[in-house]
């Protein structure tokens, strides 16, 4: 199941990064220019191939974001993670824009 996360809650999560994984779903060039602190880069088209080696625990909280509300990469990545069996997927709709 995918639930949304708001900025204030995300800020609290960033203060305790070991309890969740923050994933930017944009291409590497966008990630290199600017990304949220502690985020890892897994472009949406690489979720199926890279996630199994990076996230062995399918119960860990995974927070996915992209550029902002008009960007759909993070929602697609969240859907893919859920389809792969990850049970605690969160979507930060506001993304970098927020």
- Please give the order of strands across the beta sheet that includes 89-92: 2-4, 89-92, 61-65, 20-24, 40-41
CATH number at residue 33: 3.40.250.10
Tens digits of residue pLDDT in 37-95: 999 999 999 999 999 999 999 999 999 999 999 999 999 999 999 999 999 999 999 99
In a domain, 81, yes or no: yes
pLDDT above 80 (res 16): no
Using a cut of 0.75, tell me whether the model's pTM lies above it.
yes
Could you tell me the pLDDT band of residue 14, with boundaries at 50, 70 and 90? confident
DSSP conformational letter for 77? H
In a domain, 97, yes or no: no
Using CA atoms, how far residue 94 sits from 26, 58, 62, 69, 72, in Å, is 14, 24, 16, 5, 11
Number of domains present in the structure of the chain? 1
pLDDT given for residue 1 in this prediction: 80
In a domain, 51, yes or no: yes
Vertex 69: Cα angle to 12 and 45 (nearest 5): 90
pLDDT above 90 (res 28): yes
- Containing domain of residue 31, as a range? 2-92
The span from the CA of 8 to the CA of 13, in Å, is: 9
The span from the CA of 73 to the CA of 77, in Å, is: 6
In a domain, 54, yes or no: yes
């Amino acid at each position: 199941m995918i639930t949304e996360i708001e900025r204030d809650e995300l800020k609290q999560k960033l203060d305790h990064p070991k309890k969740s994984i923050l994933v930017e779903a944009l291409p590497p060039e966008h990630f290199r220019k600017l990304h949220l602190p502690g985020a890892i880069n897994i472009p949406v088209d690489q979720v199926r191939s890279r996630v199994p080696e990076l996230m062995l625990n399918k119960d860990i909280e995974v927070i996915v974001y992209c550029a902002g509300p008009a960007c759909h990469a993070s929602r697609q990545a969240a859907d893919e993670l859920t389809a792969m069996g990850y049970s605690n997927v969160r979507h930060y709709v506001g993304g970098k824009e927020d």
